[in-house]
Amino acid sequence: MKAQKKYDGYKSFQYLQAGVDYQEFKLAQEVGRVNSRKVAVTPEQEAHVQELLDNNLVISLHDHPTLVPADPSEIFWYRRQGRDFMGYEGLSLSKTDVVFDNMNDGTALITSKAGWKWDDIIYDMGIRLSDIAHQNLAMVVHRVEDIATAMETGRIGVVLTLEAATPIENELDRLDILYGFGVRCMGLVYSEANALGAGLKEARDGGLTQLGRQVVRRMNQLGIAIDVSHTGDQTALDAIEVSEKPIFITHAGARSLWNTSRMKPDDVIKACAAKGGVFGVEAAPHTTLTERHKEHSVESYMEHFEYIANMVGIDHVAFGPDTLFGDHVALHHAFARQLSIESAHVGPKFDEVPFVDGIENPGENFHNIARWLVSHGYSDQDIQKVLGANILRVLKEVWV
Cβ within 8 Å of residue 93, ≥6 positions away: 31, 363
Is 319 contained in some domain? yes
Q: Which residues of 201-233 are buried (b: 16+ CB within 10 A; e: fewer)?
A: bbeebebbbebbbbbbebbbebbbbbbbbbbbb
Is 168 contained in some domain? yes
The answer, yes or no, to whether residue 340 has pLDDT greater than 70, is no
Is 259 contained in some domain? yes
pLDDT grade for 344, boundaries at 50, 70 and 90: low
Is 5 contained in some domain? no
At 351 the pLDDT is: 86
DSSP 122: H
Tell me the mean pLDDT in the region 330-359.
78
Tell me the mean pLDDT in the region 213-224.
98
Is 338 contained in some domain? yes
What is 1-43 written as a DSSP string?
Answer: -PPPP------TTTTS-BTTTB---PBPPSSSSS--------H
At 393 the pLDDT is: 98
Note the pLDDT tens digit of each residue in 75-113: 999 999 999 999 999 999 999 999 999 988 778 888 988
At 350 the pLDDT is: 87
pLDDT grade for 334, boundaries at 50, 70 and 90: confident
Is 2 contained in some domain? no
List the CATH number of the domain containing 144: 3.20.20.140
> What is this structure's pTM?
0.96
Is 16 contained in some domain? no
Number of domains in the chain: 1
Is 3 contained in some domain? no
Tell me the mean pLDDT in the region 261-277.
98
Domain with 229, as residue range(s), is: 50-398
